[in-house]
Each structure stands twice: as structure tokens, then as C-alpha cells.
């Protein structure tokens, strides 16, 4: 067996299962995000992979500022 030298921080491509675990989402909803293009993915043979940078962008695009809507 080949040792896996990739860590969570350095892993460039994620499988849908890894993405689901990383985001804390269910498998069905994760695949919906991929098939609708909300999170871009690439097919490599029979596998679907997601770039970590695209996941980070997906999260950044959905960040909500705590200052908005605050009436002080």
C-alpha cells in the first residue's frame, strides 16, 4: 500500500464524499451542488473531483457579515 502524504491542508482535489464530510452536508445535497454547477467539478474517467480552491470560493461567496442588518 502506498502511503498517503497529503494532509487536509494540502489536498488539492476532493471526492464528493470528502466534500460532503468537509462541508457537513448530506450526500444527496452535495451531489446536487455539483450537478447544478454551484460548486464546479471535473470528471476524470468515472470519478468526479472538486478543486479545494473552488470549495473555498463557494464558502467565501456565501459568507455573511455580522455587521449587516445590525441597528445600533
pLDDT tens digits, one per residue of 29-47: 999 999 999 999 999 999 9
Per-residue pLDDT, 37: 96
Q: Provide the whole-model pTM.
A: 0.72
Q: Which residue has the higher pLDDT, 62 or 1?
A: 62
Q: What is the mean pLDDT of residues 3-12?
A: 61
The domain segmentation of the chain, as residue ranges, is 13-58
Q: Does domain 13-58 have CATH number 3.90.320?
A: no
Nearest to 47 by CA among 5, 7, 16, 8: 16
Query: Which phi and psi angles does 14 have, rounded to 5°?
Result: -115, 145
Residue with cell 464530510: 21
Res. 72 pLDDT band, cuts 50 70 90? very low
Per-residue pLDDT, 25: 97
Are 39 and 54 spatial neighbours (Cβ–Cβ below 8 Å)?
A: yes
Amino acid at each position: 500500500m502506498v502511503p498517503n502524504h497529503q494532509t487536509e491542508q494540502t489536498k488539492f482535489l476532493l471526492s464528493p464524499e470528502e466534500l460532503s464530510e468537509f462541508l457537513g452536508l448530506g450526500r444527496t445535497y452535495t451531489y446536487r451542488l455539483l450537478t447544478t454547477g454551484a460548486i464546479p467539478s471535473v470528471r476524470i474517467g468515472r470519478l468526479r473531483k472538486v478543486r479545494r480552491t473552488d470549495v473555498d470560493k463557494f464558502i467565501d461567496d456565501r459568507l455573511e457579515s455580522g455587521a449587516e442588518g445590525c441597528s445600533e
